[in-house]
């Protein structure tokens, strides 16, 4: 009888003993997880959550780098400041995103310098045709002009958090073009609100065809377009390269990417968090720039391996192209292409080349 009365008590003691062992095991496991896991298992929403939009796809190199940027920013500010990302075309194209930024639905966004020039025309000075010969020149000028662009955006209500790039833009064609005369009558891709490009098209007597970027591949396939221009990486991922046969060996222009935040949102941060946010963003945007340059070079090499031919423009002919483009740019309204900014960019570039013993 005693055995029968004590057996439930013994069973309960064994049951609770097993539970205590399991809790102890779970505690040990969580302890070791905290040792090896660099981030908390559950992170609270930061005090200042900055909604940031970018057209880059979710699985892109940019988003991978941006997530790393956000982790460091949260750590550096002790989770006071962080980003919430909206990637791809979740919020529309650049114009849609900017409208949302302007009315406060989002707080920050990345834009191409082509679009940013519609907000701040000073940036068009960096897109002047045949301005830069290499990325060393780009880096030097951007470093020297950084304060000027920060100030011009600040006067318009925005803070620049940093710069990256699309990269150098190359001309890609379905027929070989190596002389100024070859352009006459060619069907060249055009976009809306492109005053500098339109001035060039008029001077070169080409036939601009306005087509949205998503429709360019079909336009090339149907011979609606004979010439397009973009970065090698963009031409690769969009498959444009499968419909073009030639690419010039001289970059036509340079296009950057800017990350800007509304001045109203930025003003809410403490001076220390402002400095930290800019420093962290610029660190990771530089990493993105380095990645983009490698991607563009690899894309260019792959295009050549798959049959796209390089067109080398002779020096004398290149000078003729430059003269034509200079004439076209002279006709552009100074409100569209500020002459003072262009002169300062050119002077900065001339100083750099002189320091390297190079000609203009």
The confidence band for 343, taking pLDDT boundaries of 50, 70 and 90, is very high
Mean residue pLDDT across the chain = 87
Residue 294 has pLDDT above 50, yes or no: yes
Q: What is the pTM of this model?
A: 0.83
Convert 324-357 to b/e letters by CB count within 10 Å (16 or more is b): bbeebbeebeeeebbeebbebbeebbeebeeeee
Alpha-carbon gap, residue 327 to 321, rounded angstroms? 10
Q: Which of 227, 246, 216 is nearest to 308 (CA)?
A: 246
Q: Are strands 253-262 and 227-230 parallel, antiparallel or unpaired?
A: unpaired
Residue 12 has pLDDT above 70, yes or no: no
Rounded to the nearest 10°, the torsion over CA 73, 289, 188, 345 is: 100
CA quadruple 300, 289, 326, 314: dihedral sign:
negative
pLDDT at position 39 is 37
Rounded to the nearest 10°, the torsion over CA 18, 24, 30, 34 is: -170
Above pLDDT 90, what percent of the chain?
A: 74
Residue 17 has pLDDT above 70, yes or no: no
Q: Tell me the pLDDT tens digit for each residue of 23-45.
A: 344 343 333 333 333 333 335 68
Alpha-carbon gap, residue 347 to 341, rounded angstroms? 10
Residue 195 has pLDDT above 50, yes or no: yes
Residue 4 has pLDDT above 60, yes or no: no
Mean pLDDT of 157-174: 96
Q: Give the chain's domains with CATH numbers.
A: 48-355 (3.40.190.170)
Contacts of 325 by beta carbon, 8 Å cutoff, 6+ apart: 129, 130, 200, 203
End-to-end CA distance of the chain: 108
Least confident range from 41-45, 145-149, 264-268, 269-273: namely 41-45
The confidence band for 194, taking pLDDT boundaries of 50, 70 and 90, is confident
pLDDT at position 57 is 84
CB-count exposure of residue 193 (10 Å: 0-12, 13-18, 19+): exposed
pLDDT at position 348 is 97
Q: Tell me the pLDDT tens digit for each residue of 115-128.
A: 999 999 999 999 99
The confidence band for 213, taking pLDDT boundaries of 50, 70 and 90, is confident
Alpha-carbon gap, residue 170 to 231, rounded angstroms? 6
């Amino acid at each position: 009888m005693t055995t029968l009365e004590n057996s439930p008590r013994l069973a309960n003691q064994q049951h609770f003993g097993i539970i205590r062992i399991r809790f102890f095991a779970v505690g040990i496991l969580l302890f070791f997880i905290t040792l090896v896991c660099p981030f908390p298992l559950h992170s609270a929403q930061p005090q200042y959550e900055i909604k940031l939009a970018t057209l880059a796809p979710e699985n892109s190199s940019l988003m991978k780098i941006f997530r790393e940027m956000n982790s460091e920013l949260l750590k550096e500010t002790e989770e006071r400041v962080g980003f919430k990302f909206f990637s791809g075309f979740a919020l529309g194209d650049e114009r849609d995103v900017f409208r949302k930024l302007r009315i406060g639905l989002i707080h920050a966004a990345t834009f191409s310098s082509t679009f940013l020039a519609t907000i701040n025309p000073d940036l068009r000075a960096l897109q002047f045709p045949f301005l830069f010969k290499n990325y060393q020149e780009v880096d030097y000028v951007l470093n020297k002009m950084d304060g000027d662009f920060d100030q011009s955006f600040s006067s318009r209500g925005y803070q620049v958090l940093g710069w990256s790039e699309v990269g150098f833009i190359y001309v890609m064609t379905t027929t070989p073009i190596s002389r100024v005369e070859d352009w006459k009558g060619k069907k060249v891709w055009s976009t809306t609100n492109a005053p500098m490009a339109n001035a060039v098209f008029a001077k070169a007597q080409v036939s601009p065809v306005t087509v949205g970027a998503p429709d360019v591949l079909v336009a090339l396939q149907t011979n609606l377009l004979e010439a397009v221009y973009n970065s090698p990486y963009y031409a690769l991922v969009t498959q444009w390269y499968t419909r073009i046969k030639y690419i010039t060996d001289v970059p036509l222009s340079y296009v950057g990417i800017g990350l800007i935040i509304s001045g109203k949102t930025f003003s809410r941060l403490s001076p220390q968090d402002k400095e930290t946010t800019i420093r962290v963003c610029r660190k990771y945007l530089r990493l993105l720039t380095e990645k983009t340059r490698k991607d563009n070079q690899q894309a260019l090499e792959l295009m050549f391996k798959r049959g796209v031919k390089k067109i080398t423009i002779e020096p004398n002919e290149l000078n003729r192209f430059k003269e034509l483009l200079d004439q076209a740019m002279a006709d552009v309204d100074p409100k569209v292409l500020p002459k003072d900014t262009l002169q300062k960019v050119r002077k900065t570039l001339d100083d750099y080349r002189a320091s390297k013993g190079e000609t203009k």
